[in-house]
Amino acid sequence: MDTENAWRRANVTIRFYGIAFLLGTKLADVVTTVVGVRYVPTITEANPVADWVFIEWGLFTGLTVLGFGSVLLAVCAAELFGRELKRRFGLPKTALFAQASIYLMLSALFAVVSVLNGLLIADQLAHVLGDTLAIPDG
């Protein structure tokens, strides 16, 4: 197999798994945001731009547009950056590494945001239900 075909196969594999990770972690972010903002009265959106979009377009439409837009932007950035590294500088392995790094870093960011959203939801629910969940003495 020639090196160009090997590079294309690696690129397709990185793209497939990168997009899968991005979609999965962004979906987790969207779900935890919906649960927190919609069902826990003490939680509001901290991002002022996202909050404005939710007010203007509604929570579900706003999250769909912002989620799709952020994943699309991430995919375009990873793919264009990788291709330019390969084309301009002739660094195919570095291009693949750069693509994988972008996908992994943004997926990790979405995952961390999802976990933090979940922890905030759990904290607020524990606070609201504190007396109900308390173990009685004796």
62 phi, psi to nearest 5 deg: -60, -45
Answer left, alpha or beta for residue 96, where phi above 0 means left and psi between -120 and 50 means alpha. alpha
Task: Give the structural domain span for 15.
Answer: 3-129
- Whether 33 is covered by a domain: the verdict is yes
% of the chain surpassing 70 pLDDT? 96
How many domains does the chain divide into?
A: 1
Give domain status of residue 136, yes or no. no
E strands, the chain, in order = none
Residue showing tokens 């607020």:
124
pLDDT tens, residue by residue, 30-68: 999 999 999 998 899 999 999 999 999 999 999 999 999
Instruction: Tell me, yes or no, whether 66 lies in a domain.
Output: yes
For residue 21, give the DSSP letter: H
Separation between Cα atoms, residue 99 and residue 109, nearest integer Å = 16
